[in-house]
Homo-oligomer: A and B are copies of this chain.
């Protein structure tokens, strides 16, 4: 399957009475299947169960989730629409706690509705669909801009390493961390990408490896625990990951294991880069200690495909994310440029400049 034959990660089908269609990422790479989300509950479950995942894609999905959630009040009163909007955004906000893009998108949708207050339910719904489409389109532009800024940090012939999936499947276009690799590839730089498999849900093995293969980029899959050894062997010259939430001081929440990779990179003098849109910053949090970390079911670790791999009754600690302190991050690559060194001042300046 080539990149051109793969449908978009998620997109809206039809007009005001349309619906959200997305690739069920839990089935990849064995099966490429799209599912249709026609209710807010469908969207909530798709996010919760990681059928759609990746901070930017979660934001886009939530925005469209607001649209499907309001369709059945389009014929009623504005008061009913705003009451329902409140319900829908509150519910979608409970789907996953860590990626701030979710809350950012829901806030933006709520503010859009308020801006169009008084124009009638149908016009408000249309403005919301337009806004969701704008979020999707901005996400697309964001990916390209991150790629352009980030690829300059890489050189031809380098080995690079990434953790989890911050690629096309995590966004509406071709990713954040992977956008950097894709843009470098487009510039003719040959890279060799080491892909952390990313336990427990194997987003690296299932999704990142799949995306790299489709685009013809050389890649090698490794166990997460082998990343330090691969660095020690001199095979890696840069690490790039995505982010789910970045605090005001640059502390970055990302998939569990990212912190471990950052420590190993530091020990080997390898630059560790975070690629994420400005919507990933949460300036309301001074530092990473305030970022809520999603705890996921122990069965994700203790079982595989319904088959038990650990003794019954064993306790499991399964945080979905960890926090990498700003001091371990050489630069944050966002759509506005490269923030380096990673300090509160630099971040504030970059975000104000937009």
Contact residues, A197-211 vs B (CB, 8 A): 197-200, 202, 205-206, 209-210
Q: Is A209 touching B260 in the complex (CB atoms < 8 A)?
A: no
Q: Is B314 touching A219 in the complex (CB atoms < 8 A)?
A: yes
Q: Is A202 touching B317 in the complex (CB atoms < 8 A)?
A: no
Cβ contacts A to B, 16 pairs, < 8 Å: A199-B224, A199-B225, A202-B310, A209-B311, A213-B313, A218-B315, A221-B310, A222-B301, A222-B317, A223-B224, A223-B318, A224-B225, A225-B260, A226-B256, A228-B263, A304-B304
Chain B residue at minimal CB-CB distance from A29: B311
Chain B residue at minimal CB-CB distance from A268: B263
Interface flags, A301-340, vs B, CB<8A=1, else 0: 1101101111101111111001100000000000000000
Copies of this chain, whole number? 2
- Interface residue A229 (Cβ < 8 Å from any Cβ of B): yes
- Interface residue A232 (Cβ < 8 Å from any Cβ of B): yes
A329 to B316 Cα, complex, angstroms? 27
Number of residues of chain A lying within 8 A (CB) of chain B: 58
Contact residues, A1-45 vs B (CB, 8 A): 29-30
A322 to B29 Cα, complex, angstroms? 29
Q: How far is the CB of A233 from chain B (nearest CB, A)?
A: 9
Q: How far is the CB of A62 from chain B (nearest CB, A)?
A: 27
